[in-house]
């Protein structure tokens, strides 16, 4: 049996929606883009959504729209995809990495230290589990910093009943194909209740245009293509049911893997934290052995992430970051292993994964 780690859904209806958009709409900023934005804002419970070419673009343009500039500091987690901080390093802002909580793998509010130069905090809702937003917002408010959620793995997740993307000044999403929903290629979204952020990011994505031939800020070409938005509209309709499915799959893993070997299973959902299991990640001291064993049985597993951002070669080179700076993040990166997780996974495939994990531990 073969079990992939992830498997994006692409139905005939989604392909047809893209084809119709290609035949009948403007290819960029066509009607589907605005319809997708409206539906996505509604899902998140915010006033505005701005569709972009990627999650990285959403973070970069969002931070710039919030006034973060070259030389400013931005505090975030190194237990994330490198794009979280690339988004602002790209325009000269400086990364301040804060260690995570060993229980939820998200920014640990008790370890956040801000100074006058720190203009923004980016909590990452890792694997679709919301960060402790009340504490983070409170700290940010005291220091006059903005909070930009990296919700790239958290489409539809809820914190205290509110959706990811509505919990800070803005939320940033990615629609990369393996995410809980995608757009049939790269894509991203900013969600916000702030009309100013909406106005500026719309300009930034569209070459800094004031009018058709007039440009009053330095902008980018960072729009979401119309055909991709058309796919996104169809995907979004299924998001809640897909997230329910992911939670069911997680529950099955939880039940079958409880007490096996030295495994530590993901944090359970609670009233305040409703995760969407973008990933189902285990911890084990024998990570590399277990990974090799499962791969030899045709099971796709992942490591999210093998190298924490601060220890990526370019970050070491640019900032002199060293091993030992973030002890919890660094330990998690050595122990974490991501199981197959996708909506169409079959019970036999889940059982096959579990049997092979049990076989590994004898």
Where along the sequence are the contacts to ligand PLP (CB under 6 A)? 54-56, 80-81, 83-84, 124, 150, 152-153, 174, 176, 186, 188
Nearer to ligand PLP, 338 or 349 (CB): 338
Closest approach, Cβ 258 to ligand PLP, in A, equals 28
Rg from Cα positions in the chain: 20
* Shortest distance (Å) from residue 124 CB to ligand PLP: 5
Nearer to ligand PLP, 56 or 284 (CB): 56
140's CB contacts (< 8 A; 6+ apart) are 114, 121, 146, 147, 168
Q: Shortest gap between Cβ of 100 and ligand PLP (angstroms)?
A: 13
By beta-carbon proximity to ligand PLP, the closer residue of 226 and 349 is: 226
User: Nearer Cβ to ligand PLP, position 84 or 118?
Assistant: 84
Alpha-carbon distance of 91 to 350, in angstroms, equals 43
The least CB distance from residue 155 to ligand PLP, in Å, is 11
Contacts (Cβ under 8 Å, ≥6 apart) of 177: 8, 184, 185
Question: Which residue's CB comes closest to ligand PLP?
Answer: 55
Q: Residue 143, preceding bond cis, omega within 30 degrees?
A: no
118/180 with CB nearer ligand PLP? 180
Q: Which is nearer to ligand PLP, 65 or 257 (CB)?
A: 65
Could you tell me the smallest distance in angstroms from the CB atom of residue 356 to ligand PLP?
27
The least CB distance from residue 212 to ligand PLP, in Å, is: 28
- Does residue 341 contact residue 279 with C-beta atoms inside 8 Å? yes
What six digits make up the tokens of 142? 């005291």
Nearer to ligand PLP, 174 or 281 (CB): 174
C-alpha distances in Å from residue 2, one per residue of 72, 188, 298, 299: 47, 31, 5, 6
Which residues are CB-contacts of 2 (< 8 A; sequence separation ≥ 6)?
Answer: 298, 299, 300
Q: Which pair of tokens denotes residue 282?
A: 């285990």
Give CA angle at 334 (328, 338), nearest 5°.
105
For residue 129, the minimal CB distance to ligand PLP (Å) is 12
């Amino acid at each position: 049996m073969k079990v992939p780690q992830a498997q994006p859904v692409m139905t005939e209806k989604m392909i047809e929606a893209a084809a119709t958009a290609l035949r009948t709409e403007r290819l960029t900023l066509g009607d589907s883009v605005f319809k997708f934005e409206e539906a996505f804002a509604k899902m998140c419970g915010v006033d505005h959504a701005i569709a972009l070419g990627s999650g990285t673009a959403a973070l970069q343009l969002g931070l710039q729209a919030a006034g973060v500039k070259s030389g400013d500091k931005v505090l975030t987690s190194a237990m994330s995809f490198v794009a979280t901080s690339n988004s602002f390093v790209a325009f000269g802002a400086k990364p301040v990495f804060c260690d995570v909580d060993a229980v939820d793998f998200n920014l640990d509010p008790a370890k956040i230290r801000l100074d006058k130069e720190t203009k923004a905090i980016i909590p990452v809702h890792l694997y679709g589990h919301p960060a402790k937003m009340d504490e983070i917002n409170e700290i940010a408010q005291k220091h006059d910093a903005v909070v930009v959620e990296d919700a790239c793995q958290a489409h539809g997740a809820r914190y205290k009943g509110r959706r990811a993307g509505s919990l800070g000044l803005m939320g940033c999403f990615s629609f990369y194909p393996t995410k809980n929903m995608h757009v049939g290629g790269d894509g991203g979204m900013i969600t916000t209740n702030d009309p100013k952020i909406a106005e500026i990011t719309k300009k930034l994505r569209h070459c800094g245009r004031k009018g058709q031939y007039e440009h009053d800020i330095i902008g980018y070409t960072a729009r979401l293509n119309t055909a991709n938005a058309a796919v996104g509209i169809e995907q979004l309709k299924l998001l809640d049911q897909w997230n329910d499915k992911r939670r069911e799959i997680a529950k099955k893993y939880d039940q079958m893997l409880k007490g096996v070997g030295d495994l530590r299973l993901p944090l359970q959902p609670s009233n305040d934290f409703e995760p969407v299991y973008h990933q189902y990640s285990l911890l084990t001291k024998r990570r590399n052995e277990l990974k090799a064993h499962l791969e030899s049985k045709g099971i796709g597993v992942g490591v999210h992430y093998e190298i924490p951002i601060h220890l990526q070669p370019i970050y070491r080179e640019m900032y002199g970051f060293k091993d030992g700076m973030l002890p919890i993040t660094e330990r998690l990166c050595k122990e974490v292993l991501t199981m197959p997780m996708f909506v169409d996974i079959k019970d036999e495939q889940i059982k096959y994964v579990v049997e092979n994990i049990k076989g590994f531990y004898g």
